[in-house]
Amino acid sequence: MFFQQLLNGVTLGSIYALIALGYTMVYGILLMINFAHSEIFMSGAFFGYFFYQLFSRISFFQEKIFFFIFFLFLCSMFSTALLGIFIEQVAYKPLRRAPRLAPLISAIGVSIFIQNFFMLFVSNQSVAYPQIFPLKKYNFSLLEINSLQIFIIFLSISLMLVLRFFIQYTKLGKATRAVSQDRETASLMGINVNRIISLTFFIGAGLGGAAGILNGMYYGSIKYNMGFLPGIKAFTAAVLGGIGNISGAMFGGYILGICEAFTAGFIPGGAEWKDVFAFAILILVLLLKPSGLLGTQLKKV
């Protein structure tokens, strides 16, 4: 049962980690908690649903399941990423020079707006998510795993590796790191800061969108208010790992997922207390090691 619970935790943690990346990247660059990220995650799930409806009418995709899934993810992640940039341009960019809390309030406004928009104009009920991925069960002696869980873990880890590679080795990635270290100096070095910020939102929202589709596929239904709870959890994960730190966000996501699975899975009556544990761990980590588990000391804000 231990391994089974570990698997439950890791699957959940993969989704948290993907969302957490969006929080951590934006925080790393703008020092701002992007409250609207949870709604981006939700809209990603809905975009996935729309593209499914569209693609299932195209005969080319009928046979080729690989292309179907590939294009489904690509298109929905791209649309979600565009939404992310749109939000950044409309709601955050005019506030670059405003007091520090202004973008936070703007983000809250955007979040309320998007959630109500989906409720009013898309659906106020749950939407059944199509079974895109063929479900197969594999039985090992210690644990039982299905193809969807493998897919979720595989996809999220590979997306994170790609991101890590991008940040570490490409020119744009270097520029991103430079901006997050010092915006002014970076712009003096000829880096287009605005473009880098947009890029950050693009990547963060895209990953959030992917998490949304995975969440929809895994649990089988989506709803306009599905973003709030995973959003706050993923944020916790980002802080746990050290906010602003990309490997930290992944690490934090997995830790949180496993911690939740273990509290609900081993302690009788633990399911209702698991969030208390999660937040208690968060507070303890911050008090003992304020920069998070993997973080470096953040400069004074």
CA dist 37 and 105 (Å) reads 13
Q: Output the CA torsion sign for 20, 118, 127, 70.
A: negative
Q: Which two tokens stand for residue 274?
A: 């698991």
DSSP H or E segment with residue 142: none
Pair 249, 237: CB distance under 8 Å: yes
Residue 173 or residue 270: which is nearer to other proteins going by CB? 270
Instruction: Mark the segment that binds other proteins (CB under 8 A) among 68-76, 93-101, 159-167, 170-178.
Output: 93-101
* Minimum CB distance to other proteins, residue 215 (Å): 7
* Residue ranges in 40-79 that form contacts with other proteins under rule CB under 8 A: none
**Contact between 104 and other proteins per CB under 8 A:** yes
Residue 188 or residue 287: which is nearer to other proteins going by CB? 287
Residue 74 or residue 182: which is nearer to other proteins going by CB? 182
SS3 for 210? helix
* Residue ranges in 255-274 that form contacts with other proteins under rule CB under 8 A: 260-266, 268-274
* Minimum CB distance to other proteins, residue 165 (Å): 28
Amino acid identity of residue 253, one-letter, is G
* Minimum CB distance to other proteins, residue 169 (Å): 29
- Location of structure tokens 């590679």: 165
Instruction: Mark the segment that binds other proteins (CB under 8 A) among 47-55, 76-84, 102-110, 160-168.
Output: 102-110
CA dist 227 and 229 (Å) reads 6
Residue 70 or residue 266: which is nearer to other proteins going by CB? 266
Pair 240, 285: CB distance under 8 Å: yes
